[in-house]
Amino acid sequence: MMHLFVIMALSGHQPAIQPRTPVLIELFTSEGCSSCPPADALLAKLLEGQPVAGVEIIPLAFHVDYWDRLGWKDPYSSSEFTRRQQEYSAIFGADRVYTPQLVVDGAAELVGSDERLALEAIGKAAAQPRLPVAVNASVHGSDAIRIAVEGPGRADRTEAIDIVAVLVEDRLVSAIRRGENSGKTLSHSAVVRRHQVVGTLEREPFVGEGEWRLNKTWVRENLRVIAFVQGRKTRRIYGAVSAPIR
């Protein structure tokens, strides 16, 4: 669990703008779903290949838990991630909760294994205005990561915008023993390990600082930290950034 974030006004300070346009993509997936491995593979391909010129694709893999009762319990699944997917149904429709589902910048959804549609949606999302966000992460002691998130002030009040911090792990492998993928060995990238709303954008620029405790089973070299800002009503992603852990 993360210690409470402290939000401090930083008048006149703005985080550095990314040289490439960041686009956040969220894959809702499960090891219990036979249609999901191709989507997991596409997510890894987009992360490693970065195929859209001028764009930094920032992926997140949210493993939902509603497949867990059907023969195989996904070790990365969480009811919190299921709730996040369900929140998107207010935008896309109640019938648009399924796996594998890819959500692009909170504004478009599609079948997570459809590479052509994914690239089209990413390119379209990159043309939208961005808010600059910065994140730094460093090891603290033997079992914690210290995080600092920076963001801009905002003059408009069209909707509340949440500041979100996420810890992900790459290069995960599972041997599936039951369920629809029984007998398969599955690989995963950008698996969400921690996910927390740490504040709300206000009129003044801010920095939020906090700390996450590490699980001993996680491989520290495979962890990254991502921060993004998201409209609470529209679910639109206004800005995102990814950083390694120093």
Residue 15: pLDDT band with limits 50, 70, 90? low
What three-state secondary structure class fits 233? coil
Share of the chain above pLDDT 70, in %: 92
Do 31 and 70 contact (CB within 8 A), yes or no? no
Averaged over 98-109, what is the pLDDT?
98
Cα 97 from Cα 3, distance rounded (Å): 32
The pLDDT value recorded for residue 54 is: 96
Averaged over 37-64, what is the pLDDT?
98
Q: Which domains are seen in the chain, by residue range?
A: 6-244 (2.60.40.10)
Q: Is the predicted pLDDT of residue 14 greater than 80, yes or no?
A: no
Kindly tell me the burial class for residue 22, based on how many C-beta atoms sit within 10 Å of its own C-beta (0-12, 13-18, 19 or more).
Answer: buried
Residue length, the chain?
246
Averaged over 113-117, what is the pLDDT?
98
